[in-house]
């Protein structure tokens, strides 16, 4: 279960929605894995019996069994990183693993209280049987689903039958005292009555020739079937255990000292009041969850309202409450009357039948997340003076919000298509409005928005004009047709604009980053005011753009501080002959389908040129390229690639590029020997090389696919070194040595505990490593090194950092610097913009390439620096550095 609105959000990341349009679909969910309590077993567990409880009756019977000991858990991650403790998610699922104390027998119990998707069932089955756990015998307890049973089932009649593997049925192992596990239970000859995890587990037993039995009971819940299951277990399986049962719901009454409690499948609750949650003073967090994919009728509404009323918690210490997929048409009295005076965080997700939201007085509530309340219409006055964060999503019938939130700092409203007016928010710092079709009134006549720092408005076509009170430093506006002007006098640092607003950029002495996208009817860039501090300009998806400049005094002529210019997907741009700023260091031209020529005159600082998917581009500039150019990348430009070939005496444009030290032409890498003596890394003569990776859909898919291949194809000969801070293996194609230096083997500054969080991450089925998650820093430096004597000789290697940006990563508007120091002292310098990188998936940052030599000794060093800009940086996760052979070399 992924619920982005309940995620504890870090500071918002600027331009995320716009620049992630090219992000590929989210990667598959991480694989489930087992975590055992210390000491971790060195060998697989070999119990005489493994019991896997899936059905509600069996879970209930074992739930309050005292003679069991917790030894581990099966973790089922639900979003990327979840389950690895790097990005905690409320949706993560886990199944506890116990040992049962039954004389000399070795019995393991696994309780599966959560539903497991069909596509993950076989993975889980493989993990539980004959991998980490090798049992002599397996008993699976599940319930029959009425949709899978051909006969007529009565809810008043409890019964059970069994399915068996051939080894169990044929009595293999009789010489060791083996016999049928469940005696006196009818055998059902067809497996069609069961599917999902139970079927996968039984199939796994059959494949591994393990004696397996699947016990199927009916109905899914109720006193009669619980008694039947208890009787079967007591008679045939666990005769030595006391399986006394309390009344329905009383299992939870034993958790008097629990701090967190998650109760799921509440649609099956019979006597919820027996849980006695109002007596549990120690509870800090409470989750009430109903199952997905169910139809809620009128009877269910009444039942679920009664159940939630009976689950009234104790109010003294409860800090967080989540109510997920509740089907009642109103919330209980204990919520409406403000019973939870100490509540800090409240999440209401998928409560589709509630029409009114009444929370009473909640003086300590700080965060409120509401999502998927499809019938919510009214929200009476709220008495939450401490509320600092409010997120509303998918409430299409909500017409009005409370009139004022005095201390609200973060407000996000998405897909609320009946909402017209925003509330008064005098303390607001961060505002996000997405896809609200009739929202029109900012309500900005009072004290609202004076403290606003970041504002994003996307897909809100009725929003009225901004007033001068909007002076946020970060502002992104798209799809808001009535917003045609920006307020003057604001201290904007980063703007992302589309539509008519492109013509309305105000004078600013503070603007650093400007993104222009998705414009039409604009053949050239408008004449903007002087922007003395502008350093990065991104132009993309401007389908009618023919020229960048509209005259001698155009923007590019007067942008004396511009160091990055990125032009992408401008389908009518045929030439690029404008005079560019002499300060320019990096130029990216991509997906300009009819571009035929460009000029690079008088660019003494240009060090990095990236050209991609310009199929009509015929040649490099006639006057050649700047002598300062250190890195050139040409990809998917067939006419240009042909002219830049080195073979056969060289193409017509080869003399123009042969002086460039680092060339990449359509995936081929050419290292040109340097004729200059080594320059120390501190020399000012080495200007930074600005390598800017294009985040187009095809390239990102290629990057992600390559990263997944390189990171996940672990070879049998891989070796973990230095307490699992390094890994060494042989490349599967070439046999050359590869290294992974994990975050613990790198030097990260600042290194204070408050700046970084170290988390466990499951690198393989057997090994855990640590990754470093950035909390908040103003500057960043990550250093690593490796002796070249540990690598294969005469091989061109590349070095990449493997990192991940969280959903709310912020502070990365300006590029980071990557420095690669070679054994001879030469330094390759690049800069990479993280602004266009995808979020919530592993990506690679390429430092460059070097070639090892026979008998060479020395070290290769690599350094990542992020120090530009005044904003605090947040949300970067560092896994480590890979040193591997460059796959295609010349």
Region for residue 125 given its phi and psi (left: phi exceeds 0; alpha: psi -120 to 50; beta: otherwise) = alpha
Residue 838, domain extent? 697-885
CA proximity to 456, closest of 872, 80, 841, 810: 810
DSSP 79: S
Query: What is the three-class DSSP state of 637?
Result: coil
pLDDT for residue 680: 36
pLDDT for residue 706: 43
pLDDT for residue 373: 95
Q: Is the pLDDT of residue 532 over 80?
A: yes
pLDDT for residue 715: 40
Query: What are 160-195's pLDDT values in tens digits?
Result: 888 888 888 876 544 444 567 887 788 775 545 577
Q: Under a CB-based contact definition with an 8 Å cutoff, are residues 215 and 142 in contact?
A: yes
Q: Under a CB-based contact definition with an 8 Å cutoff, are residues 383 and 405 in contact?
A: no
- Domain membership flag for residue 464: no
- β strands within 255-409, DSSP E: 260-263, 285-289, 320-324, 345-349, 367-371, 389-393
- Domain membership flag for residue 520: no
DSSP 304: H
- Report the C-alpha gap between 641 and 615 in whole angstroms: 10
* H or E element at residue 121: helix 118-128
Region for residue 363 given its phi and psi (left: phi exceeds 0; alpha: psi -120 to 50; beta: otherwise) = alpha
Q: Under a CB-based contact definition with an 8 Å cutoff, are residues 742 and 769 in contact?
A: yes
DSSP 43: S
pLDDT for residue 808: 75
Query: Over the chain, what is the mean pLDDT?
Result: 79
**Mean predicted confidence (pLDDT) in 509-532:** 83
- β strands within 716-826, DSSP E: 719-721, 726-730, 737-742, 747-749, 756-762, 768-774, 780-787, 796-810, 816-821
Q: Is the pLDDT of residue 89 over 50?
A: no
Cis? peptide before 39, omega within 30° of 0: yes
Query: What is the three-class DSSP state of 636?
Result: coil
Beta bridge partners of 827: 821
Residue scoring higher pLDDT (794 or 20): 794
Q: Under a CB-based contact definition with an 8 Å cutoff, are residues 499 and 518 in contact?
A: yes
Among 194, 222, 237, which residue terminates a domain? 237
pLDDT for residue 662: 78
- Domain membership flag for residue 820: yes
- Domain membership flag for residue 351: no
Instruction: State both tokens at 164.
Output: 């068996």
Q: Is the pLDDT of residue 612 over 80?
A: yes
DSSP 777: B
pLDDT for residue 222: 67
* pTM for the full predicted model: 0.57
pLDDT for residue 397: 95
Beta bridge partners of 770: 760
Residue scoring higher pLDDT (758 or 596): 596
Burial class (CB in 10 A: 0-12, 13-18, 19+), 107: buried
pLDDT for residue 303: 86
Confidence class for position 83, pLDDT limits 50, 70, 90: very low
Beta-strand pair 211-218/137-143: parallel
Query: What are 724-742's pLDDT values in tens digits?
Result: 889 999 888 888 999 999 9
Among 237, 252, 270, which residue terminates a domain? 237
**Mean predicted confidence (pLDDT) in 352-365:** 89
Q: Is the pLDDT of residue 283 over 80?
A: yes
Buried b (16+ CB within 10 A) or exposed e, 223-262: ebbbebbbebbeebbbeebebebeebbbbbbebeeeeebb
Instruction: Count the Cβ atoms, other than its own, within 10 Å of residue 688.
Output: 21
- Report the C-alpha gap between 558 and 550 in whole angstroms: 13
Confidence class for position 345, pLDDT limits 50, 70, 90: very high
- Report the C-alpha gap between 81 and 842 in whole angstroms: 10
Q: Is the pLDDT of residue 511 over 60?
A: yes
Query: What are 766-815's pLDDT values in tens digits?
Result: 677 888 888 777 788 999 999 999 999 999 999 999 999 987 787 787 78
- Report the C-alpha gap between 843 and 705 in whole angstroms: 10
- Report the C-alpha gap between 744 and 761 in whole angstroms: 12
CA atoms within 13 A on the CB side of 643: 18
- β strands within 290-339, DSSP E: 320-324
Confidence class for position 703, pLDDT limits 50, 70, 90: very low
For residue 281, CA distances in Å to 255, 277, 285, 541 come to 10, 8, 11, 57
- Domain membership flag for residue 766: yes
Residue scoring higher pLDDT (700 or 666): 666
Counted domains in the chain: 2
Instruction: State both tokens at 430.
Output: 């961060």
Among 176, 208, 237, which residue terminates a domain? 237
Residue corresponding to tokens 């100490």: 342
- β strands within 37-192, DSSP E: 49-53, 68-76, 93-102, 105-111, 137-143, 159-164, 186-187
For residue 403, CA distances in Å to 364, 425, 446, 573, 655 come to 19, 9, 12, 49, 69
pLDDT for residue 247: 37
**Mean predicted confidence (pLDDT) in 8-20:** 37
For residue 878, CA distances in Å to 478, 664, 761, 841 come to 32, 26, 11, 12
Q: Under a CB-based contact definition with an 8 Å cutoff, are residues 821 and 829 in contact?
A: no
Find the range with the poorest average confidence among 210-214, 424-428, 664-668, 687-691: 687-691
Confidence class for position 476, pLDDT limits 50, 70, 90: confident
Report the CATH number at residue 93.
3.40.50.10900
- Domain membership flag for residue 83: yes
Query: What are 621-658's pLDDT values in tens digits?
Result: 988 899 999 888 898 999 999 999 888 777 899 999 98
Cis? peptide before 139, omega within 30° of 0: no
Beta-strand pair 827-832/756-762: unpaired
Confidence class for position 707, pLDDT limits 50, 70, 90: very low
Confidence class for position 22, pLDDT limits 50, 70, 90: very low
Report the CATH number at residue 879.
2.60.120.260
Residue scoring higher pLDDT (555 or 229): 229
Instruction: State both tokens at 642.
Output: 């042909």
């Amino acid at each position: 279960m992924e619920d982005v609105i309940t995620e504890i959000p870090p500071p918002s990341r600027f331009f995320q929605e716009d620049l992630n349009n090219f992000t590929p679909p989210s990667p598959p969910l991480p694989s489930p894995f087992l975590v055992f309590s210390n000491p971790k077993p060195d060998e697989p567990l070999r119990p005489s019996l493994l019991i896997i409880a899936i059905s509600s009756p069996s879970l209930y019977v074992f739930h309050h069994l005292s003679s069991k000991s917790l030894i581990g858990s099966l973790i089922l991650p639900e979003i990327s990183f979840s389950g690895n403790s790097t990005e905690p998610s409320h949706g993560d699922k886990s199944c506890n693993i116990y040992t049962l104390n039954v004389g000399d027998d070795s019995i393991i119990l696994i309780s599966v209280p959560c539903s497991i998707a069909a596509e993950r069932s076989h993975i889980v089955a493989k993990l539980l049987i004959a991998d980490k756990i090798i049992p002599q015998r397996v008993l699976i307890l599940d319930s029959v689903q009425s949709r899978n049973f051909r006969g007529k089932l009565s809810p008043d009649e409890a019964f059970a039958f069994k399915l068996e593997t051939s080894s169990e049925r044929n009595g293999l192992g009789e010489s060791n005292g083996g016999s049928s596990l469940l005696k006196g239970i009818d055998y059902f000859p067809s497996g069609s009555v069961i599917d999902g995890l139970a079927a996968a587990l039984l199939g796994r037993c059959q494949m591994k020739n393990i004696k397996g039995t699947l016990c199927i009971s009916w109905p899914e819940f109720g006193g009669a079937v619980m008694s039947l299951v208890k009787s079967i277990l007591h008679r045939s399986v666990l005769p030595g255990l006391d399986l006394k049962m309390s009344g329905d719901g009383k299992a939870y009454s034993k958790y008097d000292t629990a701090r967190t409690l998650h109760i799921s499948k509440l649609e099956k609750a019979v006597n919820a009041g027996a849980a006695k949650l109002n007596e549990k003073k120690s509870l800090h967090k409470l989750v009430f969850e109903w199952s997905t994919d169910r139809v809620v009728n009128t009877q269910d509404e009444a039942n679920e309202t009664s159940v939630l009323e009976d689950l009234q918690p104790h109010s003294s210490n409860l800090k967080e409450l989540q109510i997920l997929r509740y089907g009642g048409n109103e919330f209980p009295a204990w919520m409406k009357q403000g019973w939870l005076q100490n509540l800090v965080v409240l999440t209401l997700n998928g409560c589709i039948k509630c029409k009114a939201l009444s929370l009473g007085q909640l003086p300590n509530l700080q965060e409120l997340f509401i999502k998927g309340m499809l019938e919510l219409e009214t929200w009476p006055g709220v008495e939450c003076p401490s509320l600092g964060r409010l997120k509303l999503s998918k409430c299409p019938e909500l017409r009005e919000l409370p009139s004022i939130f005095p201390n609200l700092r973060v407000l996000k409203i998405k897909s609320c298509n009946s909402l017209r007016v925003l509330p008064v928010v005098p303390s607001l710092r961060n505002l996000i409005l997405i896809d609200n079709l009739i929202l029109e009134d900012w309500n900005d006549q009072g004290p609202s928005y004076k403290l606003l720092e970041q504002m994003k408005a996307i897909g809100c076509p009725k929003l009225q004009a901004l007033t001068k009170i909007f002076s946020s430093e970060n502002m992104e506006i798209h799809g808001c047709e009535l917003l045609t002007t920006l307020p003057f006098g604001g201290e904007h640092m980063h703007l992302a604009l589309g539509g008519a607003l492109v013509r309305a950029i105000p004078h600013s002495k503070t603007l650093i980053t400007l993104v222009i996208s998705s414009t039409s009817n604009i053949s050239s860039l408008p004449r903007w005011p002087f922007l003395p501090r502008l350093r990065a300009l991104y132009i993309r998806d401007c389908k009618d753009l023919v020229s960048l400049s509209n005259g001698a005094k155009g923007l590019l002529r007067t942008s004396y501080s511009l160091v990055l210019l990125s032009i992408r997907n401008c389908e009518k741009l045929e030439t690029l002959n404008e005079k560019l700023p002499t300060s320019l260091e990096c130029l990216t031209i991509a997906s300009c389908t009819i571009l035929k020529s460009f000029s690079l005159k008088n660019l003494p600082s240009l060090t990095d040129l990236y050209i991609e998917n310009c199929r009509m581009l015929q040649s490099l500039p006639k006057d050649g390229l700047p002598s300062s150019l250190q890195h050139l990348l040409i990809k998917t430009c067939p006419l240009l690639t042909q002219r830049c070939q080195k073979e056969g005496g060289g193409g017509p444009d080869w003399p123009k590029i042969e002086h460039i030290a680092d060339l990449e032409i359509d995936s081929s890498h050419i290292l040109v020997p340097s004729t200059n003596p080594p320059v120390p890394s501190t020399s000012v003569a080495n200007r930074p090389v600005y390598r800017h990776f294009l985040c187009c859909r095809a390239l990102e898919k290629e990057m992600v696919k390559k990263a997944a291949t390189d990171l996940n194809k672990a070879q049998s000969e891989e070796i973990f070194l230095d307490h699992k801070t390094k890994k060494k293996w042989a490349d599967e194609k070439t046999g050359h040595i590869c290294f992974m230096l994990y975050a613990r083997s790198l030097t990260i500054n600042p290194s204070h505990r408050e700046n970084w969080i170290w988390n466990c991450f499951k690198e393989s089925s057997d090994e855990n490593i640590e990754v470093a998650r950035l909390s908040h820093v103003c500057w960043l430096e990550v250093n690593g090194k490796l002796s070249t004597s540990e690598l294969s000789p005469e091989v061109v290697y590349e070095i990449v950092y493997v990192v991940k940006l969280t959903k709310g990563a912020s502070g990365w508007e300006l590029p980071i610097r990557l420095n690669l120091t070679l054994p001879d002292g030469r330094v390759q310098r690049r800069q990479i913009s993280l602004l266009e990188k995808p979020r919530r998936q592993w990506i690679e940052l390429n430092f460059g390439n070097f070639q090892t030599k026979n008998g060479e000794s020395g070290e290769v060093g690599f350094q990542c620096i992020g120090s530009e800009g005044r904003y605090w940086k947040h949300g970067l996760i560092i896994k480590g550095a890979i040193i591997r052979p460059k796959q295609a070399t010349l």
